[in-house]
């Protein structure tokens, strides 16, 4: 079968589109005919090896997949069931979604919610699913639109685009931060009330800044997150889910002990299944599918490797869906 294949010879990492023996699929109790995948920031890191994400070679990357069950040894899934899979190490330690078939563990699968097609599920992908986990975490913290505006960093990317659309439709006043101000019109179409240049958040953070936002969805990390925390209103919170700007956090304890601000860590890879099911059901109900379509572009397997480079260079707007032939 045709697949994106990562290989390593000594210290040389290569990525190519080639033939992969289907009999070499890894152990699992469900075989899925993959109809769609997607390209996330983490897929870019995996394919380019900018970070040592891959733990075994050869590897089929792709941390997301959606498709139809072909065969199952588990009573919870049967042939013809539509399913979605995010994380659980696929594309890192277990062969992933950039191939027309995947053999996986049933515990990793979520039934595709009514109202979503496999293509729409991958337009959402890990990026959108992570956005919903962030929103749910902010809600569990007790935050509502009545507490004040919401900030979304990295807003023109996959996580940010979905977060802007979700928060606006849930009633929030949304400020979108981006390094691509030429995308301001796009972000306002998704629901942003205002768009700010990321440079406003990229300066070294003061211990405390002017209180501006009650809630933040952050996919950038580093100085951007530190500055957002310093400008968070009393009792507010930031949901942190990414590291596009770096893994460090040059902050102080001041926002936490003087304003009662909370930093909520979001893990999408190993989130428990009940939380995943809830997130996907919320996405099917709360996400405007017309907005989703407007932020989505469809590509083929041939386009995945160039797209991986482009997403790391900040040249990808919104979401990329990979359609299998």
**CATH number of the domain bearing residue 137:** 3.40.50.720
Q: Is residue 278 part of a domain?
A: no
Q: Is residue 54 part of a domain?
A: yes
Length, in residues, of the chain: 325
CA–CA separation, 226 and 206 (whole Å): 9
Task: Give the model confidence (pLDDT) of 10-31 as tens digits.
Answer: 889 999 999 999 999 999 999 9
Q: Give the 3-state secondary structure of the chain.
A: CEEEEEEEECCEEEEEEEECCHHHCCCCCEEEEEEEEECCHHHHHHHHCCCCCCCCCCECCCCEEEEEEEEECCCCCCCCCEEEEECCCECCCECCCCCCEEEECHHHCEECCCCCCHHHHHHHHHHHHHHHHHHHHHHHCCCCHHHCCEEECCCCCHHHHHHHHHHHHCCCCEEEEECCHHHHHHHHHHCCCEEEECHHHHCCCCCCCCCCEEEEEECCEHHHHHHHHHCEEEEEEEEECCCCCECCCCCCCHHHHHCCCEEEECCCCCCCHHHHHHHHHHHHHHCCHHHHHHCEEEECHHHHHHHHHHHHCCCCCCEEEEECC
CA–CA separation, 24 and 3 (whole Å): 12
Task: Give the model confidence (pLDDT) of 32-63 as tens digits.
Answer: 999 999 999 999 999 999 888 898 999 999 99
Task: Give the model confidence (pLDDT) of 79-119 as tens digits.
Answer: 999 999 999 999 999 999 999 999 999 999 999 999 999 99
Q: Is residue 279 part of a domain?
A: no
Structure tokens at 294: 């407007």
Same domain (yes/no): 63, 8: yes
Number of domains in the chain: 2
CA–CA separation, 324 and 309 (whole Å): 20
Same domain (yes/no): 130, 248: yes
User: What pLDDT shows up at residue 267?
Assistant: 96
Q: What pTM value is reported for the model? A: 0.93
User: What pLDDT shows up at residue 124?
Assistant: 97
Same domain (yes/no): 102, 136: no
Same domain (yes/no): 204, 103: no
Q: Is residue 280 part of a domain?
A: no
**CATH number of the domain bearing residue 83:** 3.90.180.10
Which range marks the domain in which residue 58 is found? 2-112+295-323
Q: Is residue 131 part of a domain?
A: yes
Same domain (yes/no): 310, 248: no
**If you average pLDDT over residues 263-274, what whole number do you get?**
96
Same domain (yes/no): 178, 98: no
Same domain (yes/no): 30, 82: yes
Phi-psi region of 221 (alpha: psi -120 to 50; beta: other; left: phi over 0): left
Same domain (yes/no): 101, 16: yes
Spatial contact of 191 and 291, defined as CB atoms under 8 Å apart:
yes
Q: Is residue 286 part of a domain?
A: no
Q: How confident is the model at residue 205 (pLDDT cuts 50, 70, 90)?
A: confident
Comparing 52-56, 68-72, 301-305, the range with the smallest average pLDDT is 52-56
User: What pLDDT shows up at residue 261?
Assistant: 98
User: What pLDDT shows up at residue 24?
Assistant: 95
User: What pLDDT shows up at residue 292?
Assistant: 96
Q: Is residue 120 part of a domain?
A: no
Same domain (yes/no): 145, 72: no
């Amino acid at each position: 079968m045709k697949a994106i294949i990562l290989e390593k010879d000594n210290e040389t990492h290569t990525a190519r589109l080639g033939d992969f023996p289907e009999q070499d699929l890894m152990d699992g109790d469900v075989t899925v005919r993959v109809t769609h995948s997607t390209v996330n920031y983490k897929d870019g890191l995996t394919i380019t090896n900018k970070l040592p994400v891959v733990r075994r070679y050869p590897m089929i990357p792709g941390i997301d997949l959606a498709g139809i069950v072909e065969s199952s040894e588990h009573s919870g899934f049967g042939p013809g069931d539509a399913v979605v899979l995010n994380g659980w190490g696929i594309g890192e330690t277990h062969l992933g979604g950039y191939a027309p078939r995947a053999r996986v563990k049933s515990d990793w699968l979520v039934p595709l919610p009514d109202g979503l097609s496999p293509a729409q599920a991958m337009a959402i992908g890990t990026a959108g699913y992570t956005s919903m986990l962030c929103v749910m975490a902010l809600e569990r913290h007790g935050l509502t639109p009545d507490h004040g505006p919401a900030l979304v960093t990295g807003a023109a990317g996959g996580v940010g685009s979905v977060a802007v659309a979700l928060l606006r439709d849930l009633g929030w006043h949304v400020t979108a931060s981006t390094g691509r101000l030429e995308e301001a019109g796009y972000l306002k179409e998704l629901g942003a009330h205002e768009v700010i240049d990321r440079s406003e958040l990229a300066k070294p953070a003061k211990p405390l800044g002017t209180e501006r936002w009650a809630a933040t969805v952050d996919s950038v990390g580093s100085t951007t997150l530190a500055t957002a925390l310093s400008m968070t209103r009393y009792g507010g919170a930031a949901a942190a889910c990414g590291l596009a700007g770096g893994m460090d956090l040059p902050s102080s304890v001041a926002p936490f002990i003087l304003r009662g601000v909370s930093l909520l860590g979001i893990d999408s890879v190993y989130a428990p299944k009940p939380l995943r099911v809830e997130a996907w059901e919320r996405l099917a109900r709360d996400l405007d599918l017309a907005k989703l379509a407007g932020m989505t572009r469809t590509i083929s397997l041939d386009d995945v490797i160039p797209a991986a480079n482009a997403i790391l260079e900040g040249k990808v707007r919104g979401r990329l869906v990979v359609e299998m032939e």
